[in-house]
């Protein structure tokens, strides 16, 4: 059984079909990139996978549980327990230190544990920056804090929305290396991006255009992926 | 539990971090609460103190109770009976007691009336007496009413011989005359009947008449409302049979009318100011919380339930409310004290009960002010908030 | 473009703008209400203090010298001086005529009542006056002896037919005579005598409890003192006398013209007395210090109290407004950063934000001013039963306060926002 299964999902905003009969399967331990140009519906797909939005019709199964009909409250619980989120704009709480930002995720999930949060920061190479406020960290460091925050509760899926969009090349590599490590440890990764290079690091690329899946490539080469975007 | 932090500890850590590290915003919110709390505690303190403080000012109208002999055929009251009557009045209520002994005397065979009294006490009971020159301070000095001064053509510093005529038992035949020279120390201007008399000290009156003084009337200035005055009067008349107390209705009735109005004025002003200030506090709190919509969205994305977000923001708001309320209670008392010393030249009584009331009110207002924007923010889809404006 | 941006802000961010306008309106209404009440409070309290009775007495010149000299009865003293009744109306023609709120002529006499000698006072009760100025006034002791308690019967009412032949008795006198309301008593004066009905018995808590009060005309007829008065009691709204005004009153001719005008045109008790003396022939008007001084003290205190409360309220509303304005400008840090990033100068940004806020402040201020006047009227009506007169001073004060506070609040916040690095602001704070 797949970890995540989207079956004939539609999402409609007024007249616009943001998602038009989308079906996707993601297996446990997979590293999937969802790509597409702006307005292709990839953000909508990400919101639905991240339990922040519900489809207009169709089924979404996470761990075999249908989440498409759940209430906002139940979605919040699922999101808390099974999903780790990484955003393009990092979104750290400005007045909390790096370690405290990680602990916030623990706090909502179960129990805050400073030692464990420190371990997570160590993993992303930020142990020495733990007591710094977000404003004192570089963009790459902030995003690494977000990675630490995303993995702290051992989620079933880590969902990243343009995780390298605001980063320079060096930091991009650091973050992608982290993803590679996580993948090697068996974490399921879903990365939404329009950056071919980032997409290429994934095992599998799903391309969306005008709300439809236009290609689902198991093992794309660099060149092929990049031409698909154009 | 190595390194494990309890949920409560993390909760506190988040709230205190927010209060401590978001300084400028926190300061704004806190300032708003402090201002509101200051106004609340200050005005309420003043409101409660108005009757006492203003009541003191109304004592400028002079005596509001007079004692006269219960039976005028038995002669005047003794000093002892006046003191006994005065002992029925609490010392913090009693502003002054001035006994008067009136005597018919002559100056160059022209009759006039002089009063022997405790001149120190008169200054307390009749603060409106305006003396040109000086009050008598040594023996042999006399204060002359303006009308009498004109009649006898007296000026400040003039010498005048006042004669007491000792009469026989039938009160008709002059047996002996006792002239004493006095210096006019001042002229008394009141615009009232006092201007028709001479005033000398009790000691001078005693040496002039050669008798122990009994008093025709005693004026009492008491800081109390009409009911309390009546109570005192009833108390005195039942326990001191030689004197008959009378409440000066003209003063007591008018005083309660005016004081009631004044207190109503301060009450209304307090209500209007408070209502407006509290709304101001609420809007500021609302503005500060609204600014944090994005953060609320993030917390939701991280899996926070609406309830826990509500709790965190309320906790923060309430913390500000408590701190601001405490500060405000202190500052408000300081303000009331300032008003009291400047306006009434007296200090104000500290009312401990106002501290919890102020803090509670601050908590209530900040709590309410946070609820609405936080509820609005939690209703927002986290995805929309996180995507940016 | 500038106006387009402002229009966009004002019309599309209505929620935020409404909140700012609302807070400014609240602050402005608070300031307006408090200032309006503060400037009028002494007049209002002064009116209330009129319950203490007259604060000026007018007596004939000679009388002030020889009255009570030999403790003789009025009727026996042929040299007794009187004021003229026909000059009474002139009191309402003096410079401070509008400050004269009430007055009552008094004619003292001793008469024989039911065979007992008693002091009789002739006066106005609620005498209706139509003044040449068009003003109407019910003058007399009904309002100037507001503390009298009617223990039996009722007040004399001059508008009621037959009441010109009725009298009122102090309760001590009534007891002594053994009569009550409705009884008929005989009064014998120096000129004539007659029988009159007792309308009411009062308790004044003073000397007046031994006296008989009757309509002025009646006493004049009985004692053959037609058109004559012993004294006039005047109740006037006065400014508390200070040392200089007292000195001035002693000998106004010694003052320089400027000093004289200042003194004459201030409603001091002493200058009103002086003006009364000018219109009433051979009279001496003097302030009743017991009332005038206490009044002065209470007025001063009340005014000072209100000034301090007003200052507190103004501070409160100033902080409230500047606080919210600051908060709302801070909130727009990102927008300001963006404008800076696309090349706007600091001045251009400040101009834009300030113009917006001032537009909102004007709307809020006008609304607040109106609401504040409403609050002031509520206070006036509830407490004093009369409306608060708006002093022109209030308008500029409120305008200056609102504008200054709004600008100060926003300028400090804009400066903070401008200091920030646009990149930092745009990324994330």
- H, E, C per residue of chain B: CCCECCHHHHHHHHHHHHHHHCHHHHHHHHHHHHHHHHHHHHHHHHHHHHHHHHHHHHHHHCCCEEEEECCHHHCCECHHHHHHHHCCCCCCCEEEEEEEEEEEEEECCEEEEEEEECHHHHHHHCCCCEEEECCCCCCCEEEEEHHHHHHCCCCCCCEEEEEEEEECCCCCCEEEEEEEEEEEEEEEECCCHHHHCEEEEHHHHHHHHCCCCCECEEEEEECCCHHHHHHHHHHHHHHCCCEEEEECHHHHHHHHHHHHHHHHHHHHHHHHHHHHHHHHHHHHHHHHHHCCHHHHHHHHHCCCCHHHHHHHHHHHHHHHHHHHHHHHHHHHHHHHHHHHHHHHCCCCCCCCCHHHHHHHHHHHHHHHHHHHHHHHHHHCCHHHHHCCC
Please check whether residues B185 and B278 belong to one and the same domain. Answer: no
Q: For C241-277, how does the pLDDT look when each residue is reduced to its tens digit (9 = 90+)?
A: 777 887 787 778 888 888 888 888 888 888 899 899 8
Domain annotation covers residue B237: yes
Please check whether residues B228 and B369 belong to one and the same domain. Answer: no
Considering CB atoms only, which of C19, C48, C316 is closest to B283? C19
Picking from B263, B237, B261, B214, the residue whose alpha carbon sits closest to that of residue B65 is B237
The CATH number linked to A17 is 3.40.50.300
**Predicted pLDDT at C429:** 37
The percent of residues above 90 in pLDDT, for chain B, comes to: 13
Range of weakest confidence among C5-9, C43-47, C158-162, C375-379: C5-9
Predicted structure pTM score: 0.74
Please check whether residues B53 and B76 belong to one and the same domain. Answer: no
| Band (B168; pLDDT cuts 50, 70, 90) | low
How many beta-carbon pairs under 8 angstroms link B with C? 217
Domain annotation covers residue B1: no
Domain annotation covers residue B114: yes
Domain annotation covers residue B252: no
Please check whether residues B85 and B132 belong to one and the same domain. Answer: yes
Domain count for chain A, please give it.
1
Considering CB atoms only, which of C288, C320, C328 is closest to B191? C288
Q: For B9-25, how does the pLDDT look when each residue is reduced to its tens digit (9 = 90+)?
A: 888 888 788 777 777 77
Domain annotation covers residue B2: no
Report yes or no: A119 at the B interface, CB cutoff 8 Å. no
Distance of alpha carbon B370 from alpha carbon B288, whole angstroms: 9
Range of weakest confidence among A1-5, A174-178, C377-381: A1-5
Distance of alpha carbon C204 from alpha carbon C194, whole angstroms: 26
Domain limits at A170? 4-229
Query: What is the number of other CB atoms lying within 10 angstroms of the CB of residue A57?
Result: 13
Domain annotation covers residue B266: yes
Distance of alpha carbon C217 from alpha carbon C228, whole angstroms: 10
How many beta-carbon pairs under 8 angstroms link A with C? 13
Contact at CB, B276 and C330, closer than 8 angstroms: no
Please check whether residues B379 and B339 belong to one and the same domain. Answer: yes
Distance of alpha carbon C420 from alpha carbon C423, whole angstroms: 9
| Band (B109; pLDDT cuts 50, 70, 90) | confident
Distance of alpha carbon C255 from alpha carbon C270, whole angstroms: 14
Domain count for chain B, please give it.
2
Q: For C210-241, how does the pLDDT look when each residue is reduced to its tens digit (9 = 90+)?
A: 999 999 999 999 988 888 898 999 988 888 77
Cα separation values, C398 from C22, C324, C325, C371, C388, Å: 16, 18, 17, 13, 17
Contact at CB, B6 and A52, closer than 8 angstroms: no
Please tell me the distance in Å from B30's CA to the nearest CA on chain A: 17
**Predicted pLDDT at C200:** 92
The percent of residues above 90 in pLDDT, for chain A, comes to: 6
Chain C residues whose C-beta sits inside 8 Å of any chain A C-beta:
424, 427-429
Q: What is the mean pLDDT of residues C73-91?
A: 69
Q: What is the mean pLDDT of residues C96-111?
A: 88
Please tell me the distance in Å from C424's CA to the nearest CA on chain A: 8
- Beta carbons of B340 and B346 less than 8 angstroms apart: yes
Please check whether residues B204 and B351 belong to one and the same domain. Answer: no
The ipTM is 0.77
3-state secondary structure of C184: strand
Q: For B136-150, how does the pLDDT look when each residue is reduced to its tens digit (9 = 90+)?
A: 988 889 999 988 888
Please check whether residues B76 and B45 belong to one and the same domain. Answer: no
Q: For A148-189, how does the pLDDT look when each residue is reduced to its tens digit (9 = 90+)?
A: 998 888 888 999 988 888 788 888 888 888 899 889 988 899
**Predicted pLDDT at C2:** 67
Please tell me the distance in Å from A135's CA to the nearest CA on chain C: 7
Domain limits at B263? 7-57+257-386
Distance of alpha carbon C9 from alpha carbon C17, whole angstroms: 8
**Predicted pLDDT at B387:** 61
| Band (B389; pLDDT cuts 50, 70, 90) | very low
Distance of alpha carbon B133 from alpha carbon B157, whole angstroms: 9
């Amino acid at each position: 059984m797949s970890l995540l299964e989207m079956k004939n999902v539609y999402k409609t905003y007024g007249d616009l079909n943001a998602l038009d009969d989308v079906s996707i399967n993601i297996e446990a331990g997979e590293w999937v990139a969802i790509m597409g140009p702006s307005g292709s519906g990839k953000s909508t797909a990400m919101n639905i996978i991240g339990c922040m939005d519900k489809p207009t019709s169709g089924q979404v199964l996470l761990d075999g549980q249908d989440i498409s009909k759940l209430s906002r409250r139940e979605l919040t619980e699922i999101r808390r327990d099974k999903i780790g989120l990484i955003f393009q704009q990092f979104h750290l709480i400005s007045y909390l230190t790096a370690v405290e930002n990680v602990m916030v995720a623990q706090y909502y999930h179960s129990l805050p544990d400073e030692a464990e949060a420190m371990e997570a920061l160590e993993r992303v190479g930020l142990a020495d920056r733990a007591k710094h406020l977000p404003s004192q960290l570089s963009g790459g460091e902030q995003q690494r804090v977000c990675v630490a925050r995303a993995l702290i509760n051992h989620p079933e899926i880590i969902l990243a929305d343009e995780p390298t969009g605001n980063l320079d090349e060096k930091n991009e590599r650091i973050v992608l290396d982290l993803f590679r490590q996580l993948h090697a440890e068996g974490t399921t990764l879903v990365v939404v991006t329009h950056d071919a290079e980032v997409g290429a690091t994934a095992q599998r690329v799903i391309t969306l255009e005008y709300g439809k899946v236009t290609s689902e490539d198991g093992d794309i080469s660099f060149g092929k992926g990049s031409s698909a975007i154009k | 539990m190595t390194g494990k932090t309890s949920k409560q500890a993390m909760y506190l850590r988040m709230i205190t971090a927010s209060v401590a590290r978001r300084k400028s915003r926190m300061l704004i919110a806190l300032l708003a609460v402090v201002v509101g709390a200051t106004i609340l505690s200050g005005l309420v303190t003043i409101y409660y103190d108005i009757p006492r403080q203003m009541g003191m000012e109304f004592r400028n109208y002079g005596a509001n109770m007079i004692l006269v002999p219960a039976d005028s055929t038995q002669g005047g009251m003794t000093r002892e009976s006046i003191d006994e009557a005065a002992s029925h009045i609490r010392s913090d209520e009693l502003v002054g007691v001035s006994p008067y002994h009136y005597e018919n005397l002559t100056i160059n065979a022209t009759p006039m009336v002089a009063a022997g009294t405790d001149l120190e006490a008169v200054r307390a009971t009749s603060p409106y007496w305006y003396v040109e020159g000086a009050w008598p301070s040594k023996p042999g000095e006399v204060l002359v009413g303006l009308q009498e001064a004109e009649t006898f053509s007296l000026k400040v510093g003039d010498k005048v011989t006042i004669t007491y005529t000792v009469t026989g038992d039938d009160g008709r035949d002059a047996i002996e005359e006792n002239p004493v020279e006095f210096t006019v120390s001042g002229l008394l201007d009141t615009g009232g009947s006092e201007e028709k008399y001479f005033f000398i000290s009790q000691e001078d009156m005693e040496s002039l008449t050669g008798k122990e003084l009994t008093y025709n009337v005693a004026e009492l200035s008491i800081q109390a409302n009409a009911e309390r005055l009546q109570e005192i009067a009833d108390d005195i008349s039942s326990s001191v049979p030689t004197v008959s107390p009378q409440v000066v209705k003209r003063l007591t009735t008018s005083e309660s009318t005016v004081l009631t109005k004044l207190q109503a004025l301060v009450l209304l002003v307090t209500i209007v100011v408070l209502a407006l200030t509290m709304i101001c506090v609420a809007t500021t709190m609302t503005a500060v919380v609204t600014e944090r919509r994005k953060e609320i969205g993030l917390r939701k994305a991280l899996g926070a339930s609406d309830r826990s977000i509500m709790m965190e923001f309320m906790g923060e708001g309430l913390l500000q409310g408590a701190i601001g309320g405490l500060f405000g209670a202190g500052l408000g008392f300081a303000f009331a004290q300032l008003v009291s010393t400047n306006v009434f030249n007296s200090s104000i009584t500290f009312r401990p009960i106002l501290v919890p009331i102020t803090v509670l009110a601050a908590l209530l207002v900040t709590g309410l002010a946070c609820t609405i924007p936080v509820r609005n923010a939690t209703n927002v889809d986290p995805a929309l908030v996180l995507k940016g404006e | 473009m500038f106006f387009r941006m402002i229009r966009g802000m004002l019309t599309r961010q209505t929620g935020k703008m409404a909140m700012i306008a609302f807070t400014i309106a609240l602050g402005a209404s608070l300031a307006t209400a408090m200032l309006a009440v503060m400037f009028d409070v002494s007049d209002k309290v002064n009116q209330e203090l009129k319950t203490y009775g007259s604060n000026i007495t007018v007596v004939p010149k000679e009388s002030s010298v020889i009255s009570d000299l030999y403790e003789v009865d009025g009727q026996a003293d042929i040299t007794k001086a009187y004021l003229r009744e026909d000059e009474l109306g002139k009191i309402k023609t003096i410079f401070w005529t509008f400050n004269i709120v009430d007055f009552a002529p008094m004619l003292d006499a001793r008469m024989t009542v039911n065979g007992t000698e008693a002091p009789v006072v002739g006066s106005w009760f609620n005498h209706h006056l139509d003044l040449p100025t068009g003003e109407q006034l019910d003058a007399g002791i009904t309002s100037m002896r507001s503390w009298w308690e009617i223990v039996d019967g009722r007040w004399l009412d001059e508008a009621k037919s037959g009441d010109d032949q009725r009298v009122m008795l102090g309760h001590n006198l009534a007891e002594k005579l053994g009569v009550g309301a409705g009884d008929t008593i005989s009064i014998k004066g120096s000129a004539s005598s007659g029988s009159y009905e007792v309308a009411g018995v009062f308790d004044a808590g003073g000397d007046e409890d031994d006296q008989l009060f009757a309509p002025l005309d009646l006493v004049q007829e009985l004692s053959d003192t037609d058109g004559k008065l012993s004294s006039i009691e005047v109740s006037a709204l006065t400014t508390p006398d200070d040392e200089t005004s007292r000195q001035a009153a002693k000998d106004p001719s010694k003052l320089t013209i400027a000093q004289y005008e200042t003194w004459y045109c201030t409603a001091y008790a002493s200058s009103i007395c002086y003006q009364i003396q000018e219109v009433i022939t051979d009279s001496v008007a003097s302030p009743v210090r017991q009332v005038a001084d206490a009044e002065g003290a209470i007025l001063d205190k009340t005014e000072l109290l209100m000034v301090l409360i007003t200052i507190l309220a103004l501070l409160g509303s100033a902080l409230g407004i500047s606080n919210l304005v600051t908060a709302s400008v801070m909130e727009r840090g990102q927008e300001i950063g963006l404008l800076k990033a696309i090349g706007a100068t600091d001045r251009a940004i400040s101009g834009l934000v300030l113009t917006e806020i001032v537009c909102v402040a004007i709307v809020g201020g006008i609304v607040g001013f109106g609401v504040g006047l409403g609050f002031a009227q509520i206070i006036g009506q509830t407490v004093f039963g009369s409306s608060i007169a708006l002093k022109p001073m209030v308008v500029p004060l409120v305008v200056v306060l609102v504008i200054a506070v709004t600008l100060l609040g926003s300028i400090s916040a804009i400066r903070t926002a401008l200091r920030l690095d646009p990149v930092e602001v745009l990324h994330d704070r």
